[in-house]
Amino acid sequence: MKKVQFKSNYSQYFFLAPQLLILLIFLYWPIIQTFKDAFTMQDAFGFGSQFAGFDNFLFIFSDPSYFTAFKFTIIYSFVITLITGSIGLLLAVQANKVMHGKSAYKTLLIWPYAIAPAVVGVMANYFFSERYGLLHHLFNNLWGFNWYENVFDAYIYVIIAGSWKQISANFIFFLAGLQAIQKTVIEASIIDCKSNIRRFWTITFPLLMPTTFFLIIINITYAFFDTFGIIDTTTIGAPGSETKTLVYKAYIDGFKGLDLGSAGAQSIMMMIIVLVITIFQFRYIEGKIHYN
């Protein structure tokens, strides 16, 4: 192996500098600011700032709506991951079988991925509007749907709104995953086993595991952070605070309520939660996955 040796000891820093600078300004500096906010008590304009220790954390832990948001975020990310993953997989498997007009199907199924969450929320708003919403009328005829006051109905509203777009993301990755599986493996399995379904679960799906694992992380992150725009344009957290995600609550408290201390503490809690989830995933789930 031939080693490339640079003469200068400093040129590498020069080339790294732009990237490091971006990281510093857009990542580390805000994180440091967040820590500062979380451990101080200050008014909206940043005056009267004083060290508050863990007061802001105690404040959010004594807030029942924080736990409601916590509970909702967990339920929401679980359901969204499940729904978008399974529907995305189903669509990908079906689209993979299609012989004619394959790219037309693909394009149409990928399209929603390009739509911003806030726009998805506005569209969902039409579907669930009491006045002219198709889905509202459908569900209302089925069981008396009323998301203004019924928690379960509000869940359905934000879950449908939140899943729709993300199904496309799942579809596109699953499809790519399916196409990456070697034809020889599939052909060999057809000789051994007649059942389509069994073949799928014993051969295809295990081979898709890296994709699935990747998508689980992507979906959870999506439900945690990117659904903000959807919540803001659909239920705004109602009824009660039952459909507030943790991010949305931090936003409401920080930007609408102008309480930066509490919002900072909530951000740090979120950082810890994401850290725990990621460690858990990489330690316990990834170990069971075989990459090709």
Partner 1 sequence: MKKLISIFVLLVSFAFTSNSYSKTEIHWWYGNSGFLGDVIIEIANRFNESQDEYMVIPTGKGSYEDNMAATIAAFRAGDQPHYSQVYDAGAAIMVAQVKNGVVIGFEEMAEKYGIDVDADNYIPGIKNFYADGDGKMIGVPFNSSTCLMYANMDILNEVGIEEVPKTYEEFEGMAQKILDAGYIPLLQSHSPWIWTENFFSRHNLLMTDGNNGYDAVPTKTLFAETEAFVYHWTKVKEWYEKGYYGYKGRAWGDNQAPFTNGEAAFWFGSAASFGGMKGVLPNFTTNPIPYWDSVTGGKEYPTFIGGAANWILNGHTEEEYKGLAKFIEFMGSPEMDLYYHNMTGYAAVTKGGIELAETINFYRASPYHKAVGDQLGLEGSTIPGGYRAGNWPQIREVIYENVEPMLNGDITVEKALSNMDKGAEKLLKQFAKTL
Q: Given the rule CB under 8 A, which residues bind partner 1? A: 41-48, 50, 52, 59, 62-65, 129-131, 147-150, 235-241, 252-253, 255-259, 261-262
Nearer to partner 1, 158 or 215 (CB): 158
Q: Closest approach of Cβ 76 to partner 1, in Å?
A: 18
Q: What is the nearest approach in angstroms of partner 1 to the Cβ of residue 275? A: 27
**What is d(CA 218, CA 88) in angstroms, rounded to the nearest whole number?**
13
Q: Count how many residues are written for the chain.
A: 292
In terms of CB distance, is 34 or 81 closer to partner 1?
Answer: 34
For partner 1, give the closer residue by CB, 139 or 171.
139
CB of 215 to partner 1, least distance (A): 33
Contacts of 18 (CB under 8 A, 6+ apart): none
Residue 160 or 207 with smaller CB distance to partner 1: 160
Q: CB 16 → partner 1: shortest distance, Å?
A: 29
- Contact (Cβ atoms closer than 8 angstroms) between residue 217 and residue 111: no
Identify which of residues 62 and 195 has a Cβ nearer to partner 1 in the complex: 62
Q: How far is the CB of 149 from partner 1 (least distance, A)?
A: 4
Give min distance, CB of 44 to partner 1, in A: 5
- 52 vs 181, which CB is nearer to partner 1? 52
Tokens of 233: 């344009």
Q: Smaller CB distance to partner 1: residue 72 or 174?
A: 72
The minimum distance between CB 69 and partner 1, in angstroms, equals 11
Find, among 27, 3, 60, the residue nearest to 259 by Cα: 60
Give the separation between CA 159 and CA 81, rounded to whole angstroms: 10
Spacing of C-alpha 96 from chain mean position: 25
Nearer to partner 1, 222 or 248 (CB): 248
CB of residue 273 vs partner 1: minimum separation in angstroms?
A: 22
